[in-house]
Structure 1
Amino acid sequence: MIRNLKKALLFMILIIVSGVAGFMIIEKWSFVDSLYMTVITLSTVGYSEVAPITPAGKIFVIILISSGIGTAAYFVSLITRFILDGEFQELFRRKKMEGLLKNINEHYIVCGSGKVAHEAVKEMRKKGKSIIFIDEKSDSNEEIYTEKGVIKIKGDPTEDIVLERAKIRKAKALLVTTDNDANNLYITLTARQVNQNLYIVALADKESSMEKFRKAGANRVISITGIGAKRLASSILRPTVVDFLEVAMYGEDFQLQMEEVLVEEGSFLENKMLKESEIRTRSGVIVLAIRRDHKLDINPEPDYVIKKFDKLITLGSLEQLKKMFTLARNSEKSNQAPSS
C-alpha cells in the first residue's frame, strides 16, 4: 500500500509539473497562474480560466484532464483505503515503537519464550525496569509492540538483526533463557562481541555447558536443575532460612527487602570505613555483604574501607533503601549527603 501511494503521488507531481510547464509554454502565463489553472483543472472545481485560452491550450487542457483526473481519483482512493483499512494507524504505531526504541537506553533485554522468561520479565517489571522482550514464539502479528509496559519484539534472538533491533549496543544487561543451550551459547557469544560492557546472565540446561557459557562471555550462568536441587535440599535442611530469603527477595508485602547498592565515584561513602560511614544512622539499612570486583565479603568488619564501585548488599525497608541509594550516589548528583 505504501509503495502504491508513493507511485501515485509521484505520478500526480509529474502531472502537475507537466501542467504548469504546458500552460507556461503554450499560454505564456506566469508560474502562479499556470499552477492555479492546473490545480482547478485537475480538481474539476469549475472556476473560470485566468485568461482566454488558445485552441492549442484547449487541446492541452483535454489531455491534462484525461490523464490527470484518473490519477487523482486513484490517489484519493488509495488514501481512503489507507486510512479506513487501519494501515495509517499501523504506520503511526510503528513509528511510535521506533521512537521508543530510538530513545531507550540502559535497558534490560530478555530472550526466550517459556515460563522462565515470562516470570523473569514479570519480576523485573515490579522493580520498574525498562525491558525489551525478544519472543520468538509470540502469537502477535506485529514485529514490534508493547504489552503490559514491556516492549516486545517478535523474532529469532540468534539473528544479529533482531539483537540490533533490541538496541543491544545500548543495553545494560541481557538475560538469555531460550530452551536450547546451543542457541543460548550463540546469543551470549554474539552479544558479548557487540557490547563488551553488557552484563549477561545465561540459562544452561546442562551443568556441563556452564563453563562454555563463561568462556563465551556470560557474567553469570544459571542451571535450573542445580538451583532447583539446592533449593529442595535447603527447604528440608534449613526451611526457616529459605522462607526468610524468599520473602526478603521476592515478597511484596514484606516490610524488609534486600537490594544491591552501587557506590558511585564521588559518593559520600567513598573511602570511609564502614563504622565511619553512618550508613545505619543515615539510612537505617543493614549491610550484609560487600562485593568488590569478584570477591564477596560477607558480614564485613567495621574497619572495612568502602571504595568506589563497591556493591553493598543491604537489607531494609523501601524507605530506608531509598535513603541508601541516595547516600551511595555521587555527591553532586545528590546535591548533598542526606542529613541524619
Structure 2
Amino acid sequence: MRKITIRILTKLPTRYVTTGLILIIGLFIYGIVGSYFIMNLNLLDSIYYSIITMATVGYGDYTPHTGIQKIFATTLALSGVALLAYVFNVMLTSFQEKMSAYSKGARKMKKISDLEDYYIICGFGRVGKVVFDELTKRNQNIIVIDKDEEVFENIEETDSVVTIHRDAIEDNLIAKLAGKKCNSVIVSTGDDVNNLFIVLTIRESNSDAWIITRASRIENISRLKKAGANKVVCPEIIGGQDMFFESTKPHLLRITVKHTPNELYDEFKIINKYGCSLENIDYHIPGVETPLTRDIGVTKLADGKCYQNYLETHDDQKQALKNLYKATHNIHSHLILGPDKKTFEKLITDLKEIEEIIGINLTNEEIAKITGKEDLD
C-alpha cells in the first residue's frame, strides 16, 4: 500500500502542482515585501512574519497597529488559507482519482484472470472496430487495449468484453496478457512502428503466441514478419484485391459441378482452352451454407499438370482430396474468370461432356438446399 501511495503522489497532475507552487511563491514574496515596507520589519523578521501569517499560526509577537498594516495582515492570512486549501484540494482530488483508477484497474485484471480463450485487440481504430464486431458476433471473449479513452465510449463492457485505457507496451502489459489463455493478439494500430514494437514485446516473452498485425505500408510487411508476426494483413492489398474482384464481376462465372478427382485435369484443360483462369474452388458440405474455399488463381496449363503430378506422387495428399470429395458428395463450385459471355457459353458446353453441371451462379443458400437432399448418392 505504501508503494502504491508513493506512486500515486508522484503522478499528480504537473500543471496543477506547478500552478500551486507559483501562487505560493508569489504570495510569499508579497508577504516579505509587505512585511518589510508596511510592517517595518527587517528581512529576517519579514520572512518569519510572512510564514506564520500565511500558515495562520499567529504567535502575536508582531501585531499590526495601523489600518494599512491590518489590511495587509488580513489579505496575507486569507490568501494563505485559500491557497493552502486549493493545493490540498488538488492533491486530495487527484489522490482519490488515482486510487479509483488503481481500484478499477485491479478489478479489470481480476476480470481478465477469470476469462478463458480470449482475443486481444491492440488499437481500436477502423480496422480494430471491424475485428471487434466480428468477434462479438461470434460471442468471443475480447480484451481491447488503446491509449485513447474516447474510443471506448461506444463499447459496453460485459462479462466477455474488457477495455483497458493504457499503452499496450506499458509495464509489458501486452506480454503479460498474451499468455496461454490468449487465442490470438490482433495488433491493429495505424502506426507500423507501434505495431512492430508491440509484436517484438509479445514475441520476446511469448514464443507460442499467435500474432496478427496490420501493416499500413506494403514495404513494412517483411519487417513485421521478421519481428515475429504470424500473419501480416495490409489493407492496401486487401482493398486492391476487392477492387479487382468487383471490377471483374461481369466476367466471373460461378459454376457448380459434380465429378470425382479423376476429372480434375481434364476440367482444367477446358478452362485453360478458352483463356480463362480458375480463381477459387468452393467445396460444399451437405446441408451447410458456408463452403470450404480454396484460393487457386491458376491460369497456366502447366500449373494444372504440375498439381496432377504432385497428387500421383503423394498418396497421402491424393487420399485427402478423395476424402474431401467424398464428404461433399463430389459437389463443388468453381469461380472462373473469363473474357466474355460467349466464351462462358462455349466453356459450359464442353464441361457438360465430362461432368455433371448442377447450376450456374447459384447462391450458397441454393446449393445448401441441393446438397442437403438425401438422394445425392
With structure 1 as the length reference, what TM-score do the two structures score? 0.45
Greater Rg over alpha carbons, structure: 2
With structure 2 as the length reference, what TM-score do the two structures score? 0.41
